[in-house]
Copies of this chain bind each other. A is one copy, B any other.
């Protein structure tokens, strides 16, 4: 559950080994935003963590705000792409819902820092970045909701409420980012499959 078991510590193993300066800076920013928050992080610290001295960090990125907007936009684009592929993978409502829920949970299991920053720092985004990210979030929720509506219309799903089922599936999946650890008791696949199962139960498949 979100923060329920332990204080957040970003696990950035999944970030890989960045091979260019801009990507090094992005990873450093993500790490610092996750650990200390956007407002307390300075561009100097981001540069230092990325191993870049002084103002030359500005050769690669324009501002802290641009870094945050880039991270949050990238997060939503990755989630939207995962959902798009899952929706296109089948014409069967159950299979589609299972895969949409699984993709959602898998992303959150792998990208704890992105999920954490994405949820916490939406208020730190200036316009038009904020609306831009909010539009993507709305589209993501709409994609799941539309899928549930179709399942209801075809008689495959019977959720207590389409809207609340959609919210519940997304929220429980986002929670995974807060407690999942790759070296924990349950493997990523186990968690992903069981959350897919719970999503199907919620909609009454």
A residues contacting B by CB (< 8 A) are 1-8, 37, 39-40, 118-120, 122-123, 130, 134, 137-138, 140-141, 159-161, 163-165, 167-172, 174-176, 178-179, 186, 190-191, 194-195, 197-198, 201-202, 204
A5-B171 contact given A164-B191, A201-B201, CB 8 Å threshold:
no
| Top 9 closest pairs, chain A to chain B, by CB | A171-B175, A168-B172, A1-B170, A7-B123, A160-B194, A172-B172, A160-B197, A3-B119, A201-B201
4 more A-B residue pairs beyond the given contacts A37-B37, A168-B195, with a C-beta to C-beta distance below 8 A: A1-B174, A7-B123, A168-B175, A172-B172
Q: How far is the CA of A194 from the CA of B186 in the complex (A)?
A: 29
- Chain copies in the assembled complex: 2
A121 to chain B: closest residue by CB: B3
| Contact for A5 among B123, B141, B160, B197, CB less than 8 A | B141
